[in-house]
């Protein structure tokens, strides 16, 4: 089973305002790990989601897409805390910016005991990301869980989604993130993530530093309209973006790409620590292409709406 750990939330997406009018918003289920869990299931993978979900109305909305996709909510008991909210606005290029409201919310209603008790016996890939390293008390709990999962032999994958606007102590955040990165076998980041962490380094330099960490075997970097790149000790590759017939927005594109990459790796029987580092340029190009199509089809909608496997296959065969 693919287990995805991290936050779920509601994106309140702001629509363009008429001068002098009230702000109009639409509500969409979201959160990077939540999106990735659904995307994996829609691509045909057995997917479990490790995050408390609220008993409130927004929590009911979050449960619906999980059930429809066939994702297993691993924490069965709903939380009494409210759902995290993210207000989403877009720049001139359509890229999203976020403001978060998450103090005392359900996705932070965690303990070591609750999380460990919810884990399935068999975990093939443990995908983590989003908010796990942000708060010191949360990071301590999650890092302990990740260490215990690593001890079981699972492949660990991380998509940190660096959010400077959420972080009061960025140096402390980077130190906590380092703890997770040192355990990971697969790291997926955006060029914006890398710039936030250190804007003096090139993408290539960042990738090599990540590959020099104790366990990292594969680095995937997304670059917006410029596509994506992948790096291992055996090669590197680039893939262009896949543009949908009708563009919605880019919300959830990176999460869909992550699910596509993991699916493509699984189908090549490459999701093992020994095989990841041996992926060459051709392998990486094929994996990135699958991820790019998955992400591009998601961008045909407003809000995150990952494609089915049939949808991806239809594009790849065309």
Structure confidence by residue, pLDDT tens digits, 97-141: 778 899 999 999 999 999 999 999 999 999 998 899 999 999 999
Domain boundaries, the chain: 2-6+31-83+108-317
Its pTM stands at 0.94
Neighbour tally for 275: CB within 10 Å: 15
* DSSP code at position 167: -
Structure confidence by residue, pLDDT tens digits, 274-310: 999 999 999 999 999 999 999 999 999 987 899 999 9
The rounded distance, in Å, linking the Cα atoms of 52 and 263 is 25
Q: Which fold has domain 2-6+31-83+108-317?
A: 3.40.1190
Cross-strand partners of 11: 28, 86
CB neighbour class for 25 (10 Å; exposed up to 12, middle 13-18, buried from 19): middle
The rounded distance, in Å, linking the Cα atoms of 188 and 5 is 15
Local structure of 27: helix, strand or coil: strand
| Residues 176/139, Cβ–Cβ less than 8 Å | yes
The rounded distance, in Å, linking the Cα atoms of 183 and 198 is 20
Which residues have C-beta within 8 Å of that of residue 239, sequence separation ≥ 6?
A: 227, 228, 229, 285, 288, 289, 291, 292
CB neighbour class for 223 (10 Å; exposed up to 12, middle 13-18, buried from 19): middle
pLDDT at residue 180 greater than cutoff 70: yes
Which residues have C-beta within 8 Å of that of residue 175, sequence separation ≥ 6?
A: none
Task: With CA atoms as reference, report the closest residue to 215 among 264, 162, 274.
Answer: 274
Structure confidence by residue, pLDDT tens digits, 247-256: 988 889 999 9
């Amino acid at each position: 089973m693919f287990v995805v750990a991290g936050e779920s939330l509601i994106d309140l997406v702001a629509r363009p305002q008429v001068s002098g009018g009230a702000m109009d918003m639409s509500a969409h289920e979201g959160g990077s790990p939540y999106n990735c869990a659904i995307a994996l299931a829609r691509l045909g993978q057995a997917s479990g989601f490790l995050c408390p979900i609220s008993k409130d109305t927004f929590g009911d909305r979050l449960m619906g897409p999980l059930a429809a996709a066939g994702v297993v909510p691993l924490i069965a008991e709903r939380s009494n805390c409210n759902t995290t909210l993210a207000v989403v606005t877009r720049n001139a290029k359509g890229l999203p910016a976020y403001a978060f409201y998450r103090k005392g919310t359900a996705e932070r209603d965690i303990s070591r005991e609750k999380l460990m008790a919810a884990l399935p016996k068999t975990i093939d890939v443990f995908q983590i990301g989003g908010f796990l390293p942000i708060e010191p008390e949360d990071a301590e709990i999650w890092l302990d869980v990740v260490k215990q999962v690593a001890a079981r032999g699972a492949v660990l994958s991380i998509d940190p989604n660096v959010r400077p606007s959420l972080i009061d102590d960025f140096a402390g955040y980077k130190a906590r993130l380092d703890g997770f990165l040192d355990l990971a076998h697969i790291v997926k980041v955006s060029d914006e993530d890398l710039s936030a962490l250190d804007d003096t380094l090139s993408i290539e330099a960042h990738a090599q530093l990540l590959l020099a960490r104790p366990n990292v075997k594969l680095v995937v970097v997304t670059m917006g309209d410029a596509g994506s790149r992948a790096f291992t000790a055996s090669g590197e590759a680039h893939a262009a973006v896949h543009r949908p017939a009708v563009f919605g927005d880019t919300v959830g594109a990176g999460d869909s790409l992550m699910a596509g990459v993991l699916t493509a790796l699984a189908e090549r029987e490459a999701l093992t620590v020994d095989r990841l580092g041996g992926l060459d340029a051709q392998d990486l190009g094929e994996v990135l292409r699958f991820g790019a199509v998955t992400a591009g089809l998601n961008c045909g909608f407003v809000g995150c709406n990952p494609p089915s496997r049939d949808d991806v296959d239809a594009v790849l065969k065309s």
